[in-house]
A and B are shown apart, each in its own frame.
Chain A
Amino acid sequence: MEKSELMLEIYDLKKHFPIKKGLMQRTAGYVKAVDGVSFSIKRGQTMGLVGESGCGKTTVGRTLLRLLSPTGGRSIVDGVDIFSLSKKELRLMRPKMQLIFQDPYSSLDPRLPIGAIIGEAVAEHGIAQKKEIRDYVLKAMQDCELRPYQYDRYPHEFSGGQRQRVCIARALALNPELVVADEPVSALDVSVQAQIINLLRDLQEKRSLSYLFISHDLSVVEYISDTVGVMYLGSLVEFATKPELFKHPLHPYTKALLSAAPTPDPDAKTNRIVLKGDIPSPANPPPGCRFHTRCPECKKVCEEDAPAFKEHSPGHWASCHFAQ
């Protein structure tokens, strides 16, 4: 099959979680964790996805891989419509699209040595012959700068940074083409963060991987991404190439987010946009523009009409009535 230029396309992705109430566990409503998100990632590129806690980043990542059953929309990985596959076909697709978790502590089975953790899925998907698995795993470990003697060690003997390397080795041992990295460095100290980011970039170059890089840290996203999407309460509010988004943000939320991050320069002037109030609950999002309760530029129309997600200049999308 010919390789398509786009590694990932998602259209109007939706994931609603039912809210269960009472003894009968009646469905009393829905948390619209992801409510109509569309974007695409070119082969070999990295898209950063930013937004605050609970805005739906993780849910986007898991739903598009069909690790959660979607409520609606389409997810196309390398030309294949993931949501229309049978269980068996999906299983064959699995190695191609992998997830790296936020928490390197809880995502590794404490009872298994590192070699077995990495080798498990390799054997399951028949990626290497039984006799060759050990060599194959050692090679994958080497790619992630883990030492051969660590093959028989257990997770608790590893530091946070080393565990994250193990998670990366486990995902990359399956030769994926698309990797969803969900806050892969958020639990790590700055100096360890740098090692992991370098590793992810080196592996991308060597294997022309495509990443969806989820993070709440703008400096990390700015460093690693080609394109960036900004989420607020279940929707994408802005999408553009990295330089465009950081230089000419259109959406008031993006502007506030960019100005909110503290800069490590004591002389930098802080023209900070401090947003009022709290992030509303996704179970009960505000009507009209979802950002209107906190938006410093809110007008009457914003309280009633939801703005459309429009392309304002080539490749630069935003949903705000007054974006220009």
Chain B
Amino acid sequence: MSEAELNRGQKLRDIKRFNAKKYKELEQRLRHRSSPSEWEAVMKDSENVLEIDGLKVHFYTDIGTVKAVDGASISIPRGKSVGIVGESGCGKTVTSLSIMRLLQEPQGQIAGGAIRFNPGSGPAVDLSKLPQEKMERIRGGDITMIFQEPMTTLNPVLTIGKQLDEAVKFHSQKNSNGSRRIAARSVEMLKAVGIANAEGVYRMHPHELSGGMRQRVVIAMALMCDPKLIIADEPTTALDVTIQAQILDLLRSIKSKTDASIMLITHDLGVVSEMADIVLVMYAGRVVEQGPVREIFHNPCHPYTIGLMLSRPGVKSSGKRLYSIPGNVPNPVELPDYCFFRSRCDSSIRSCAGAYPPMARIDASGHCAACYRHVNDAGGASHGKK
């Protein structure tokens, strides 16, 4: 065997050993019976429903540690909708699965940071440390999730009605609701999401419904328990444009009628611009820019955000060549210790060779970008992280 092959073999063995250690650590953590003092938390801002602070999510794979989320911080204010955009693989879904504690363990683990959730009544909790049995109460109750593919949520062998009723029964206090009252509420909810034949659909199975109707049912289910936070991961990506328009209309009306916060994940800049109050742009596992929707669309500051906006074909670009960001996303196993976007950036400056850029404040609206180009503009960087 050549030296290179021997080295490679050694490297693979090291990875295996490291992963085994990580699996064991997780097992120990899961066995440990934690006390409330370990998972109770204090919100930085009591107006927030959710505060994600420096979240790290790692996947311990055969080729090494995939840093799918590498220090992302996200705040979601009460009653607002926060849009998260970024390209495939940037960590959007992994972030939302971490909030729901649905990561594929033990390969996938929360490796650092906090996810503080404010249920309104009672103390805030750090979801990343909450015992699974407590998490089960929150999942589908105070926090619900709408997936891209509605059949991930629906059970193919149960009727729609049964599934909606069960969601309520599981999350409400015992005896407080009679079965008939629950059924009536389920039908009511189906009507609220625009299903015309609600009584009929209540008795149907998922396969009898079209894709758009299924997604409406999933949305009805998500609303059944008056959630504080709805996470919608590409809720319209699998749907046709005219059906997408119906579902976006529905989400908009829910937004105006409830005070639930919405975390909307999408790669479609059009969808965020219509639905979100606040937009976060993710790149390679980190938030690189955030701010009010108007700011992000009219005054994008991070070179990656600017590139994304320019790449989109539109009337104005007709005839001209489209802008395209050169190069590729960095390998998530070997993230650099400087700006992750540097190898593709067309406006890097001398300081970009240094450490990963801090979040720089652009203006008083809450608009910030992790980019050295903006560190000395408009009042300098707010060194949020060490």
Contact = CB atoms under 8 A, between A and B. Distances in A.
A197 interface: yes
Interface in A215-239: 216, 218-220, 222-224
A189 B237 CA distance: 13
B245 A260 contact: yes
A266 B294 contact: yes
Interface residues of B, number: 42
Contact of B324 (A160, A191, A268): A191
A265 B322 contact: no
A275 B245 contact: yes
Contact of A197 (B269, B297, B322): B322
Given A216-B241, A257-B242, A278-B243, A264 B321 contact: no
B294 A261 contact: no
Contacts of B323: 194
Interface stretch (B159-167, B311-319, B349-357, B376-384): B311-319
Nearest to A50: B241
Given A190-B308, A222-B318, A265-B297, A256 B267 contact: no
Contacts of B322: 194, 197-198, 223
B96 interface: no
B324 A223 contact: no
A216 B312 contact: no
Contacts of A190: 87, 267, 269, 308, 311-312
B240 A220 contact: no
Contacts of B213: 278
B313 A220 contact: yes
B248 A223 contact: no
A262 B87 contact: no
A222 B213 CA distance: 30
B321 A262 contact: no
A264 B273 contact: yes
Interface size class of A (residues with CB under 8 A): 35 or more
B353 to A, nearest CB: 24
A222 B321 contact: no
A48 B35 CA distance: 62
B246 A274 contact: yes
A222 B269 contact: no
Interface in B219-251: 240-246, 248-249
Interface in B251-276: 267-274
B240 to A, nearest CB: 4
Contacts of B328: 159
Nearest to A160: B88
A288 to B, nearest CB: 20
B293 interface: yes
A220 B307 CA distance: 17
A297 interface: no
A266 B312 contact: no
A267 B270 CA distance: 12
A225 B274 CA distance: 26
A53 interface: yes
A4 interface: no
A278 B274 contact: no
A274 B250 CA distance: 11
Nearest to B241: A260
A121 interface: no
A266 B273 contact: yes
A262 B274 contact: yes
Contact of A216 (B240, B268, B297, B321): B240
Interface string B145-188: 00000000000000000000000000000000000000000000
Contacts of B272: 264
A198 to B, nearest CB: 5
Contact of B297 (A52, A191, A264, A274): A264
B294 A201 contact: no
A148 B315 CA distance: 36
A195 interface: yes
A193 interface: yes
A125 interface: no
Interface string A186-223: 00011111110110010000000000000010111011
Nearest to B292: A266
Contacts of B248: 262
A256 B246 CA distance: 12
B347 interface: no
Contacts of A195: 324
A259 B193 CA distance: 22
A276 to B, nearest CB: 8
Given A194-B311, A223-B313, A274-B249, A260 B321 contact: no
Contacts of B294: 266-267
A263 interface: yes
Contact of A191 (B242, B244, B321, B325): B325
User: Which interface residue of B297, B298, B309, B312 has the most chain A CB atoms within 10 A?
Assistant: B312
B7 interface: no
Contacts of A260: 241-242, 244-245
Contact of A275 (B88, B242, B293, B314): B242
Contacts of A278: 210, 212-213, 243
Contact of B273 (A189, A265, A275): A265
User: Which interface residue of B271, B318, B323, B324 has the most chain A CB atoms within 10 A?
Assistant: B324
Contact of A219 (B249, B274, B314): B314
A279 interface: yes
Interface string B107-120: 00000000000000
Contacts of A107: none
User: Which interface residue of A216, A219, A224 has the most chain B CB atoms within 10 A?
Assistant: A219
A191 B311 contact: yes
B369 to A, nearest CB: 18
Given A198-B322, A219-B313, A264-B309, 15 more contacts: A190-B87, A190-B269, A190-B312, A192-B324, A194-B313, A194-B325, A195-B324, A198-B324, A259-B245, A260-B245, A262-B244, A262-B271, A263-B274, A266-B293, A274-B249
Interface of B: 87-88, 210, 212-213, 240-246, 248-249, 267-274, 293-294, 297-298, 307-309, 311-315, 317-318, 321-325, 328
14 contacts: A159-B328, A191-B308, A193-B313, A194-B311, A194-B322, A218-B241, A262-B244, A262-B271, A263-B274, A264-B272, A264-B309, A266-B298, A274-B249, A275-B245
Minimum-distance CB pairs A-B, first 7: A262-B270, A223-B313, A194-B324, A52-B240, A260-B245, A194-B311, A194-B322
